[in-house]
């Protein structure tokens, strides 16, 4: 099958089905405020009266149908609105870390780590060119992790569906049996992961969409076609609809923000070997021990304390001397030797 003609069904759910599912997940909620219910009810009644008074006979019956449809539409809209704004709306994730300006639902209050995020929540980070540039790390309810670059605005629709309005997100959805499907919707297409780590960036100053894949594959649905991008490649969709794909370095300088947006790695009680495993995944480092027998020892060295504000790469090099080791980094190969060796 031609990948460009491939379809992935069910990406845009029917509106009423989406509302029904949200209401089921949310469970019982408190009633809407009386003033808001009264306003909505009166609006529906006025529409009904106006439609009926203008018609008789067959036209009147048609007016009843139109009026009923209007009432049902208002009802579905009210259900969706109340489900998303109610404290009982389903949780879709949690904020793990943030820096700079990060707004939740455009509130003046800056959310803190651990804040639960509900369906419909909107997160906005301060722009890179402002003094309050912000970044954030989230964990979705289905297990995938997201990182938001500066100048980003996203809406969390469900644990598996994100709307990107501007800026960039990095997603890690796991692989194999740990894979958590994720759809990132943008005005220029829907990015569907195939067990991967990737960036979706929606341009502002430079209009267009960029999908950069670090691991796995991403399928981008746009119009009647599906474009598939693999690890080490970037797919560009320009505002005029033209596309281009080219090779990239999946751990180069443009990815630095992904590391800086990550939640801090808690070293207390963890082993040096675990930290090095994280480095391999996050930084693309190859870790070598000289002699190789040192590798076994790294699994028994237990770390304590905190790395503070140090980024992962700098934290590792700072921690090695405390374990009687030193590290030499060249071309993303970290060679670890015993101090004095």
Same domain, 166 and 311: no
- Domain contains 36: yes
Whole-number Å distance between alpha carbons of 255 and 268: 27
* pLDDT tens sequence across 5-45: 333 333 333 333 433 443 344 344 334 444 444 444 454 45
* pLDDT tens sequence across 180-217: 889 999 999 999 998 899 999 998 777 899 999 999 99
Same domain, 150 and 216: yes
pTM for the model stands at 0.73
Same domain, 198 and 290: no
Residue 82 host element (H or E): helix 57-85
- Domain contains 26: yes
Same domain, 98 and 115: yes
- Domain contains 5: no
* pLDDT tens sequence across 258-306: 999 999 888 999 999 999 999 999 999 999 999 999 999 999 999 998 8
Inter-residue contact 221 to 190 (CB < 8 Å): yes
Neighbouring C-beta atoms of residue 141, cutoff 10 Å = 18
Same domain, 114 and 235: yes
Inter-residue contact 208 to 244 (CB < 8 Å): no
Q: Give Cα 3 to chain centroid, integer Å.
A: 25
- Domain contains 8: no
In the listed set 50, 85, 120, which residue is the last one of a domain according to the structure? Answer: 85
Check residues 153 and 85 and name the one with the higher pLDDT.
153
* pLDDT tens sequence across 87-110: 567 899 999 999 999 999 999 889
- Domain contains 9: no
Check residues 72 and 168 and name the one with the higher pLDDT.
168
Whole-number Å distance between alpha carbons of 193 and 24: 27
Q: What is the largest CA-CA distance in the chain?
A: 99
| CATH number of residue 178's parent domain | 2.60.120.1440
Per-residue confidence (pLDDT) for residue 99, from 0 to 100: 93
| CATH number of residue 283's parent domain | 3.55.50.30
Q: How confident is the model at residue 338 (pLDDT cuts 50, 70, 90)?
A: very high
Q: What is the number of domains present in the chain?
A: 3
- Domain contains 10: no
* pLDDT tens sequence across 100-148: 999 999 998 899 999 999 999 999 999 988 888 999 999 999 999 999 9
In the listed set 85, 110, 144, which residue is the last one of a domain according to the structure? Answer: 85
- Domain contains 57: yes
Cα dihedral 262, 268, 270, 275 in deg (nearest 10): 40
Domain that holds residue 317: 264-338
Same domain, 166 and 182: yes
Same domain, 133 and 188: yes
Same domain, 233 and 106: yes
Same domain, 159 and 245: yes
Peptide bond into 291 cis (omega under 30): yes
- Domain contains 248: yes
Per-residue confidence (pLDDT) for residue 102, from 0 to 100: 96
In the listed set 252, 272, 289, which residue is the last one of a domain according to the structure? Answer: 252
Q: Please list the residues that pair with 201 across neighbouring strands.
A: 168, 210
Same domain, 69 and 199: no
For 162-182, b where at least 16 C-beta lie within 10 A, e where not — what string? bbbebbbbbbbbbeeeebbbb
Same domain, 169 and 246: yes
Q: Please, what is the average pLDDT of the chain?
A: 80
Per-residue confidence (pLDDT) for residue 13, from 0 to 100: 38
Same domain, 229 and 280: no
């Amino acid at each position: 099958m031609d990948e460009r003609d491939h379809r992935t069904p069910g990406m845009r759910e029917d509106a009423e089905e989406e509302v029904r599912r949200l209401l089921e997940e949310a469970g019982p909620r408190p009633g809407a405020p009386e003033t808001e219910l009264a306003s909505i009810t009166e609006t529906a009644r006025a529409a009904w009266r106006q439609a009926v008074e203008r018609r008789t006979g067959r036209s009147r019956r048609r007016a009843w149908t139109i009026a009923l449809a209007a009432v049902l539409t208002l009802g579905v809209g009210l259900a969706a609105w109340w489900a998303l704004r109610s404290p009982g709306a389903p949780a879709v994730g949690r904020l793990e870390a943030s820096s700079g300006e990060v707004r939740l639902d455009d509130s003046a209050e800056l959310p803190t780590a651990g804040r639960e995020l509900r369906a419909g929540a909107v997160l906005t980070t301060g722009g890179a060119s402002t003094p309050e540039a912000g970044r954030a790390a989230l964990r979705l309810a289905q297990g995938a992790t997201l990182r938001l670059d500066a100048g980003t605005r996203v809406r969390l629709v469900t644990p598996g569906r994100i709307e990107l309005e501007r800026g960039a997100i990095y997603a890690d959805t796991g692989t194999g049996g740990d894979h958590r499907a994720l759809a990132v919707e943008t005005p220029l297409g829907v990015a569907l992961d195939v067990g991967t780590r990737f960036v979706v960036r929606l341009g502002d100053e430079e209009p267009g969409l960029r999908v950069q894949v670090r691991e796995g594959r991403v399928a981008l649905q746009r119009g009647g076609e599906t474009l598939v991008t693999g690890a080490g490649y970037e797919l560009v969709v320009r505002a005029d609809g033209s596309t281009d794909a080219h090779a990239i370095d999946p751990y180069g300088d443009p990815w630095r923000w992904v590391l800086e947006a990550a939640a801090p790695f808690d070293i207390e009680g963890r082993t040096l070997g675990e930290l090095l495993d994280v480095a391999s995944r996050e930084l693309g480092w190859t870790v070598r021990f000289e002699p190789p027998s040192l590798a076994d020892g790294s699994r028994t060295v237990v770390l304590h304390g905190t790395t503070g504000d140090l980024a992962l790469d700098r934290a590792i090099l700072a921690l090695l001397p405390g374990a009687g080791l030193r590290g030499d980094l060249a071309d993303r190969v970290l060679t670890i030797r015993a101090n004095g060796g």
